[in-house]
Amino acid sequence: MQKLSDRTAGFTDSVIRRMTRISNQYGAVNLSQGFPDFEPPKEILDRLEQVAHEDFHQYSITWGAQNFREALAAKQSPLMGRKIDPSSEIVVTCGSTEAMMAAMMTVANPGDKVIVFSPFYENYGADTILSGAEPIYVPLYPPTFQFNPDELEAAFKQKPKALILCNPSNPCGKVFTYEELSIIADLAKKYDAYVITDEVYEHIVYAPHKHVYFSSLPGMWERTISCSSLSKTYSITGWRLGYIIAPPEIIEVAKKVHDFLTVGAAAPLQEAVIPGLQFGQSYYDDLQTKYTHKKDLFLKGLDDIGLVHTNPEGAYYVLLDISEFGYESDLKFCEDLAREVGVGAVPGSSFFREPVNHLIRFHFAKKDETLQEALNRLADIRKKLK
Ligand code: GLN
């Protein structure tokens, strides 16, 4: 038999998704792969029920159903500070996972360099490999996860085609300030690079931090490929609804990539989510309040147990320092944690370029009682893992 493709040799399966399978195997409370265990908004579910009996069972337009794109453009335009054209400036994708992949394929040729901050969401590694690009990693330094502007400029001097910006950031919870984004913008302009954003946590930001859309910075619309999704905002990660927003010349190319990758996102689901896209500001305020409460509940619980952790400014992840347990492998720690303590986590090493083995990631997008159950189990962690 001939060898399978070299392209796939450079990465493993997703550790995040693997940890969900391991958590299920041991009946652990799964705080690994980030997805909620509470219901999506009722308005969306009610519409889903109706849609089953309406005419939405065949392909929608490949780059997204017209009314979905119109509703999305109406929602995003005021947020992103410009009038987005639903016909020429949006491609609807199967989750932001496809959006990011399509953006990479749109921008990068094999051999092109792409800047990735470390820690990073693990898909970006595979995205660069699959598109043939070569990542240049630039560290974000704990505890605030700031970058060093000189290191960033040194990366830009290697003539990258693009920079990937996850903001608010998974897994470190960083919300980039306007000043930090301006530094990136100046460098992108100076070295003529694109910026591919992943803004799926755009509505999960903790006061006093604020989300700034990168494309809204002066001169950045032209060179930004904004990717996001409805997964986190409406608690529908399984619906796989994502999108790319960018100038027409870029979208023209992204539409082609998307068309041949997946044809299109699920037509009935695009229709069913429209009431969500039409929610007023109070929905997003409530979402913020809900996640702020969950963050406070979970972090206080970790503090009570005496576990050292980061303080996220946005998104719904927390990194926990496991140095005190003396493990050499954070993967082994997470396996033991799932089996012995009954809580699922993701090993930090799957997010860092640097040899980091002392961190694990929990997410707190769960019902209060689920978080409480995880905390009850974690209370015994030192008895079980030391
Ligand atoms: N973004 C989520 C995480 O980091 C899950 C993403 C996924 O598995 N597609 O856990």
- Where are the chain's structural domains? 15-40+281-385, 58-277
Amino acid 13: pLDDT: 86
7: pLDDT confidence band, cut at 50, 70 and 90? confident
CATH of domain 58-277: 3.40.640.10
- According to DSSP, residue 141 is labeled B
How far is it, in rounded angstroms, from Cα 303 to Cα 47? 41
Residue 69, amino acid: R
Residue 372 has pLDDT above 90, yes or no: yes
Assigned CATH topology for domain 15-40+281-385: Aspartate Aminotransferase, domain 1 (3.90.1150)
41: pLDDT confidence band, cut at 50, 70 and 90? very high
Query: Residue 130: is it exposed, middle or buried by C-beta count within 10 angstroms (0-12/13-18/19+)?
Result: middle
Helix (H) or strand (E) holding 136: strand 134-139
* Residue among 21, 33, 362 whose CB has most ligand 1 atoms within 8 A, to mutate: 33
* Site of tokens 């070569």: 134
Residue 117 has pLDDT above 90, yes or no: yes
- Smallest CA-to-CA distance from 365 within 23, 42, 44, 32 is with 32
pLDDT over 90, % of the chain: 96
10: pLDDT confidence band, cut at 50, 70 and 90? confident
* Average pLDDT of span 96-121: 97
8: pLDDT confidence band, cut at 50, 70 and 90? confident
Closest C-alpha residue for ligand 1 atom 9: 97
Query: What is the residue-averaged pLDDT of the chain?
Result: 97
* Average pLDDT of span 14-37: 96
Residue 93 has pLDDT above 90, yes or no: yes
Q: From ligand 1's centre to the CA of 71, what distance in Å? A: 25
Report pLDDT digits (tens) over 207-264.
Answer: 999 999 999 999 999 999 999 999 999 999 999 999 999 999 999 999 999 999 999 9
Q: From ligand 1's centre to the CA of 140, what distance in Å? A: 20
Amino acid 1: pLDDT: 94
Closest C-alpha residue for ligand 1 atom 4: 34
Report pLDDT digits (tens) over 305-339.
Answer: 999 999 999 999 999 999 999 999 999 999 999 99
Would the pTM count as exceeding 0.95?
Answer: yes
